[in-house]
Structure 1
């Protein structure tokens, strides 16, 4: 079994500074996303309409009726979403490490691809069933993974969005968070709970199902990361899950009866 390396602060960086760095990264990424998701959820539960009758659109048009401007905005937000990952890379280099320390590289690309595909197959189907059950039970909004117009760039943008989500989440919420909390002396159970709760929190805008389902996924990903010592298989798994969800919804919405569309 490979264990995740979580050494104490290196290169003369104090624990206090490591903690501040972590808060800054989360404040620029998924920490604030979690707060925004909470506000969104409170707005949804105080709406007259039931949760299942409300729609949460993940990849919506940013310039309706203006496809080229819309494309420019889509690419802008994809690139912007990766900036916290660049910050993490810089902070790791500053302490004498790199993103390779988290297993974010192509050194084991075929093994990572195989492992990621297996994880995606196991979690993807289960996650879909859990979402459908949560939505039917009225504790989840209807999630629309794509609200993009039917233009030539829709599928490529959805795939890029899936990879942006997966890279940002797994590098920050899995690799970097676990490393920093380990350096700060946290116990393994506390680290897993924190990572899982954070992952669930920024999906709360989808409803209780989004919160619980992603917390469970977070625990599984933490355990696999500890075993493999690499985020790349989980990046692949997450990207495949999101790609199937985003592109599948764009192609199937309105054409199959079992897929809620709001």
Structure 2
């Protein structure tokens, strides 16, 4: 049992903590910004590579299956309904946070992403790539897999109910800090939404609704930006 806990901690370092630290360090020190195509390729390469690495480590090092992440009772219809419900909750939080936290926390606008969004208006290829593999694999699937992997790995360290709640908070704080480039507003609001996602997974043990709701939440926001942002 102790040996497995050590392996779990090693896996967390390799899959979550070290990559997050390197990503934050790079974002803090790079000054040139990303070109639009780099913003397309980066999530695909980093996210896709991390998904493959997670599968390898979980399957061959931890001797576990990725199916553990979707082990709760459910089916595609229920998953879709839960995804829609979660998306609604995220948007409710979005508007509540804007009314309450935007005045006291700092938000850093992502001009690089805005530039990509505007280029997508003129370039159908960028539009297809972003709303296709980038959104669904490089962002939604990657981030939810990492969140659930971090959460379940922490849970394995202790069966205590108090620790399970603490693990939800730790996972959400780390998830929020991973979005450090968005300022304190981004860190806090993403951490809050992460708590919702973690509580859902604690109760239902279903990954798919989290992935779908994540893609819907981000996709709807970007879609609205493309439609409403001035030409």
Equivalent position of 2:155 in the other structure: 182
Q: Alpha carbons of 1:133 and 1:146: their partners in 2 closer, same or farther (altered >3 Å)?
A: farther
Partner of 1:146: 114
Match of 2:206?
230
CA deviation digits over 1:176-201, x for unaligned, max 9? 11221122227112201110101110
Larger Rg: 1
Q: Report if aligned partners of 1:131, 1:210 keep a CA contact under 8 Å in 2.
A: no
Q: C-alpha offsets along residues 74-121 of structure 1, whole Å, 9 cap, x if unaligned? A: 24641332211111112222233211110189x722221111111102
Change (3 A) 1:127 1:193: same
Unaligned residue ranges in structure 1 (runs of 5+) = 1-7, 44-56, 63-69, 256-262
Question: How far is 1:33 from its partner?
Answer: 3.5
Cα separation, partners in 2 of 1:249 and 1:110, compared to 1, 3 Å: same
- State the aligned residue count: 217
Of 35, 51, 58, 1:61 maps to 35
Per the normalisation by structure 1, the TM-score is 0.71
Q: Which runs of 5+ in 2 are unaligned?
A: none
Structure 1 range deviating more: 17-26 or 142-151: 142-151
- 1:103 is matched with which residue? 70
**Other structure's SS at 1:110 match:** helix
2:8 counterpart residue number: 18
| 1:212 counterpart residue number | 188
After superposition, what is the alpha-carbon deviation per residue over 1:16-36, rounded to whole angstroms, capped at 9, x for unaligned? 222111111114533433555
Tell me the TM-score normalized by structure 2.
Answer: 0.80
Match 1:30 to one of 11, 20, 39: 20
Which structure dedicates a bigger proportion of its chain to helix? 2
Alignment of 1:109-258 (within 5 A): 109-128=76-95, 130-131=97-98, 134-135=101-102, 139-143=106-110, 145-148=113-116, 149=119, 150-159=122-131, 160-163=133-136, 164-173=138-147, 175-185=148-158, 187-254=163-230
Cα distance between partner residues in 2 of 1:141 and 1:20: 33
